[in-house]
Amino acid sequence: MDLGVPIEDRGEGRFSLPASALSALSASIMPSLAQAWHRQLGRLLGGRVAKVAAPPPPPPNAARIATIRRESIGDARVAEIIDMSDEVSDLADDASSAAQAASASAASPQTPEISPSEHDESGSPVPRDIQPSGSSAAAPHAPSKAVVQRRTVVAAPARGAGAPVRPRTLLLAPDVDLPEPAEWSSSPRTGATELDDPLVDKVRAAEHMRLAGDAEAAAAHLCEAARTAAEMGAPQVAAQHVNDVLELLATLPIGASRQRLRARALLERGRLQWQAAGYEHGFTLAQALVSLEAARAELGPDAPVDLAVDLAQALAGVYFELGDSHALARALAEIEEASRKLQTANDTIGAACLFNDQAAVRVRMGDAASALQLLRASRAIFDARGQDDHVALRELAETEHLFAKLPLHARMRLGREEEGYAIGLEHALAAERAYGELEDPRELARVWETMGRLELKRCRIEEARQRLEAAFETQTRIGDLTGLAQTTELLSEVLAWCGRNDEAVAMLRDSVVFNRDKGSPRGLISNRQALTALSSRFAALPKHAEGLREVEILLAAGERELGVPARTDTQGMT
């Protein structure tokens, strides 16, 4: 004030200086004091982030979430309807022993069989026994109008995408309002400042640590920022933070800590490429494998258990999405190795959290016996934990969803198929309630897709359509490209049963494009089966020949790109 600098008191608890005065003041601070000041700011911001990221107190409805345990359907009913006479449960003993250890620690697409002779006026077959909309399963918040209109939108983008993506023709109900592309757009370097405080604090902490000369601490904060940005739906911002980490680490001498940070950054990049939409940015399954294998190459045998397990789970997730027999075997091997590491570290609860992952792979392999043992072990462990334990609640939700999938993959006892699908829906409803309370739209949409499959098995076409359109809307909004590929393929079949043939062909075309963009061989194999079925169904309707030919061209191109053989093992492709 003595120098005449304009300082105004607005009563806001802060004051501002002109940029010139601020620059002069900063330049006059001694280097050692500036370094100490930056380090202190980095620690303060890092501490604030840790406080914000701490597990919140149980929400008021936590008890209602936990009712999943009491409302869930008995495992015995599932075991009764599944024919496991030819299956061997080679994991039963391991799962049982691990469950006992963890409990002690806690104390401390297929087509329904429908007569092809019945058709509607458009020439499409009509199911013989479509039941009225009196299902006991409450319909989701889904589009319910009969007419679906075509719009050209950007397919499955995520907030923060900084580059244009290819337009895609999708089918949307008239009351579905998607954000315009401008609302997703954000500069990779500036978008973080427009997001929530936890991400901004991590970025600021990283910058202060860099100015303080602690590049490793800065890189660690940026890795956390990348993970947070990805979870917030800003994959391009996350990718930029990963690039910044790798550039920063390139200035440091080679050492164990540098290699671990580099592995963490590559792991975050691999997760992005696995889970986020963005064909133009290398977000494909093949690129995810490259990044994750590069991360593993950075780690030695003494790598921290949590980092090694995170990496194994990400690799297993990519192999699971690739989905062929070899990839599923690799996924199972990764999860089992991670489980052994956790058990060696006496982390029995962490190992139990992998039971559902193992069960998911076993379900897709068609090994119902092993999957059932693992799901029972998981439930036994997490049922015993507190009702305010969100880790336990999430595991129980996953268990319910996997129980719901069993009737779709396992061979059921003759004459009990309808009962099996009904039981699957009850499990899916329990998973739907849990994921709704946990506010997880990605998993909630996946549950709706499973419910759509189960309803289609029961020939309840309208209920299946509502579930699938709800999944479609959510997956489009959050950018779940893998989920969209599966949902649009199944919607194609449902719309064909509804006589909406043009829309059915368009949906299948979109599914092929999504699978091709994501680089999913499993998805293209399933698309080939769906195209064969749709072509047979529309064989007497030449007006659809051109649309089907377009799907064939796109599918053949994708198969060549990904090296998908014309004839391959399709077990577990649904």
111-169: per-residue pLDDT in tens? 333 333 344 433 434 343 333 333 334 444 443 333 333 332 323 333 333 333 333 33
Distance of CA 441 to the CA centre of its chain: 9
Does residue 91 register a pLDDT over 50? no
Strand partners, 119: 125
Task: Report the C-alpha gap between 360 and 414 in whole angstroms.
Answer: 24
Phi, psi of 389 (to 5 degrees): -90, 105
Angle at 452 between CA 450 and CA 457, to 5 degrees: 100
The first and second tokens of residue 354, run together, are 């992998």
pLDDT for residue 387? 64
Domain boundaries of the chain, sorted by first residue: 75-562
User: Regarding predicted confidence, which is higher, 562 or 63?
Assistant: 562
Alpha-carbon gap, residue 233 to 318, rounded angstroms:
19
Mean pLDDT of 486-505: 96
Average pLDDT for residues 431-453, to the nearest whole number?
A: 94
Which residues is 172 bridged to in the sheet? 149
Token code pair at residue 161: 């995408």
Q: What class has domain 75-562?
A: mainly alpha
The proportion of the chain whose per-residue pLDDT surpasses 90, expressed as a percent, equals: 47
Predicted pLDDT at 38: 86
Q: Find the helix packing angle between 355-365 and 390-409, rounded to 10°.
A: 10
CA neighbours closer than 13 Å in the CB half-sphere of residue 13: 0
For the entire predicted model, the pTM comes to 0.73
Average pLDDT, the chain: 77
DSSP 318-367: HHHHH-SHHHHHHHHHHHHHHHHHHHHTT-HHHHHTTHHHHHHHHHHHT-
Span 1-16, average pLDDT: 74
Find the mean pLDDT for residues 62-76. 50
Q: Which band of pLDDT confidence, cut at 50, 70 and 90, is reported for residue 179?
A: very low
Q: For 284-293, what is each residue's pLDDT tens digit?
A: 999 999 999 9
Q: Are 234 and 191 in contact (CB under 8 A)?
A: yes
Say what the pLDDT of residue 42 is: 85
Please check whether residue 316 is in contact with residue 361, taking contact to mean a CB–CB distance below 8 angstroms: yes
CB 248 within 8 A of CB 219: yes
Q: Is the pLDDT of residue 491 over 80?
A: yes
**Predicted local confidence at residue 168, as pLDDT:** 32
CA–CA separation, 280 and 157 (whole Å): 11
Provide DSSP, 539-550: TT-GGGHHHHHH
